[in-house]
Amino acid sequence: MEFKGAMGGLYRITEWISRIAFSNILWALCSVPFLFMAVMKIIMVASNQGGPNEQITLNWAMGILAPFTVFPATAALFTVVRKWVMGNTDLSTFRTFFQGYKENYLKSMLGGVIYTLLFVVMYVDVTVYMTQMANFRIVGILMLVLMIILFVSMFNFFSIIVHYQMTFKEVVTNSILLTIARPIRVFSSLLGAGLLAYIGLRYPALYFICIPTLIAMLAFFNFYATYNKLQLQVEKKRLQEEQAAEEAALQKEDGLEDDTDEQDMKRI
């Protein structure tokens, strides 16, 4: 049954709210171990409880759990939002989510290991250079910039995983190259994600309802716009090459005809 007018608009709004909330719940359930440690750390920091050893233990736990929980769950979430952004909304969110979870688990887990290790190394470098080695603070700032670029490249990493059939090496390489080649579009995703995260800090319940899914939708929307633009450029270049080849062939035919005419004139 299809509703029209205001009733139809209200129905579509509630339908989208339920889709986003359900996919967000699936993501949270698959990320429960990591999220539990993250919540424990937030509570510990907010209440000034626990010493440095407890903080370090939680950091290690989060670093170990992230590649095996958050990264595959996020890849599955991107699988769902990819369908939505491309216009396919009449699908089973549950089936699509876990299909993406299964198909992309290995690549997303390996990517999670690499990203986590790089983040840990860069975080330690930034902390050391910015707090303990004042003369090398510029190095700390540079590492901070690289850390931000690495974080932003994760948007492309998940988008490429669910949109292309590539090897793991190609996924990582292209996610970083696309981040550097198209910084404005990608960093607009970062700004939008930052705004959504800020809203989530004001209203924490939104993290369990919609924030991760909305960030994934924004990130893939910008990636897909970049993808379409690159496709148009490739198609335009292909057409230009075909046109140039046709013109070269015509010129070659004209040249052959001129040579034939000259030979005929010489025979006469």
Q: How many CA atoms lie within 13 A of 24 on its CB side?
A: 19
pLDDT tens-place string over residues 113-169 = 999 999 888 888 888 887 777 777 788 888 888 888 888 889 999 999 999 888 888
Global pTM?
A: 0.83
Angle at which helix 32-47 crosses helix 52-65, to 10 degrees, equals 160
Instruction: Please say whether the beta carbons of 219 and 159 come within 8 A.
Output: yes
pLDDT tens-place string over residues 70-124 = 999 999 999 999 999 998 888 899 999 999 999 999 999 999 999 999 988 888 8
Task: Give residue limits of the domains in the chain.
Answer: 5-31+69-267
Instruction: Please say whether the beta carbons of 81 and 220 come within 8 A.
Output: yes
Distance CA 257, CA 101 (A): 63
